[in-house]
């Protein structure tokens, strides 16, 4: 490839997302709203608890023994380490067992897979008549940790497979399939998504997290849509490897959820 051709492809890949033929509205059709998390996230000072005492612990509030559980008394936002210890369930801490029971009642047991919890929009092959490529979560090549495993320090791949439509071997330029890790192996993306979501399950009644579970899932859907949109734009421009700016949206989401 000549230097000039490489520069031309770099220029083409920088085309605005609006020029991509990827239908973001279709991708986000199952979300509550397609607003980015960055527009809904509160400032760090807003994450302080409304009631700072032993009686405002999550365990006490769940047991119904809080002093004023419905009068401004909420528990601290919980860290990934806390949620992992709940899921580990290897202690005699009855309070954490109560929290684990609540998580299971919400439908999120410790062995539930990350993909089952969060990747519904890309779990099946896309059907987008306006795009030249289909895409789907590559379950065979991606790591798919349980919720408990995702809460440990990690660099977990989230691979999306892009398949060209109407491919003719020997005639269509470029490959038929392209696989891209949309996290770019950045550390702890899965960890903070899971932890943020678990906090949100108990908002607003028990944990003052400032985000609902629907908002966290919508923010993740939006970040994944941004990552796919970025890759699709470059594929349409003729770039089939070394994609630019991959993982930036998921990194931003990770950083915004990392507030304990």
What pLDDT is stored for residue 72 in this prediction?
60
pLDDT tens digits, 82-124: 999 999 987 678 889 999 999 999 999 999 999 999 999 999 9
pLDDT tens digits, 33-57: 444 444 444 443 344 434 444 457 7
Q: Long-range CB contacts (< 8 A, 24+ apart) of 170-179?
A: 173/238, 174/238, 174/240, 175/240, 178/133, 178/231, 178/235, 178/240, 178/241, 179/138, 179/141
CA atoms 163, 27, 120, 182: torsion sign: positive
pLDDT band, residue 58 (cuts 50/70/90): confident
What pLDDT is stored for residue 187 in this prediction?
95
> What are the backbone angles phi and psi of residue 45, rounded to the nearest 5°?
-65, -20
What pLDDT is stored for residue 65 in this prediction?
57
- The three-state (H, E, C) secondary structure of the chain, written as one string: CCHHHHHHHHHHHCCCHHHCCCCHHHHCCCCCCCCCHHHCCCCHHHHCCCCCCHHHCHHHHHHCCCCCCCCCCCECCCCHHHHHHHHHCCCCCHHHHHHHHHHHHHCCCCCCEHHHHHCHHHCCCCCCCCCCEEEEECCCCCCCCEHHHHCCCCCCCCEEEEEECCCCCCCCCCCCEEEEECCCCCCCHHHHHHHHHHHHHCCCCCECCCCCHHHHHHHHHHHHHHHHHHHHHHHHCCCCCCCCCCCHHHHHHHHHHCCC
Separation between Cα atoms, residue 162 and residue 188, nearest integer Å? 24
What pLDDT is stored for residue 169 in this prediction?
93
Would the pTM count as exceeding 0.85? no
Lowest mean per-residue pLDDT among 9-13, 78-82, 100-104, 153-157: 9-13
Q: Residues 74-86: what's their mean pLDDT?
A: 92
Query: Residue 1 pLDDT > 50, yes or no?
Result: no
Peptide bond into 204 cis (omega under 30): yes
Query: Residue 156 pLDDT > 90, yes or no?
Result: yes
How far is the CA of 174 from the CAs of 99, 137, 239, in angstroms?
51, 21, 9
Lowest mean per-residue pLDDT among 20-24, 205-209, 218-222: 20-24
What pLDDT is stored for residue 137 in this prediction?
97
Separation between Cα atoms, residue 136 and residue 52, nearest integer Å? 45
């Amino acid at each position: 490839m000549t230097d000039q051709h490489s520069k031309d492809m770099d220029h083409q890949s920088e085309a605005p997302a609006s020029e991509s033929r990827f239908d973001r509205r279709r991708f986000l059709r199952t979300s509550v709203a397609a607003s980015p998390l960055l527009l809904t996230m509160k400032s760090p000072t807003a994450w302080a608890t409304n009631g700072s005492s032993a009686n405002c612990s999550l365990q006490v509030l769940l047991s119904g023994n809080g002093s004023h559980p419905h009068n401004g008394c909420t528990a601290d936002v919980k860290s990934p380490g806390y949620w992992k210890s709940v899921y580990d369930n290897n202690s005699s801490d009855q309070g954490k067992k109560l929290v684990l029971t609540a998580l299971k009642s919400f439908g999120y047991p410790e062995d539930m897979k990350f993909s089952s919890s969060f990747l519904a929009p890309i779990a099946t092959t896309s059907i987008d008549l306006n795009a030249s490529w289909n895409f789907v979560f590559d379950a065979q090549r991606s790591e798919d940790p349980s919720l408990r495993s995702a809460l440990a320090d990690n660099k977990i791949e989230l691979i999306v497979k892009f398949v060209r439509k109407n491919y003719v071997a020997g005639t269509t330029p470029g490959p038929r399939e392209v696989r891209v890790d949309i996290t770019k192996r950045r550390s702890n993306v899965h960890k903070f998504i899971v932890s943020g979501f678990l906090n949100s399950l108990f908002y607003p009644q028990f944990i003052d997290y400032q985000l609902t579970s629907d908002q966290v899932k919508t923010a993740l859907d939006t970040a994944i849509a941004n990552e796919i949109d970025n890759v699709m734009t470059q594929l349409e421009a003729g770039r089939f490897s070394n994609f630019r700016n991959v993982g930036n949206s998921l990194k931003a989401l990770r950083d915004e959820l990392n507030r304990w």
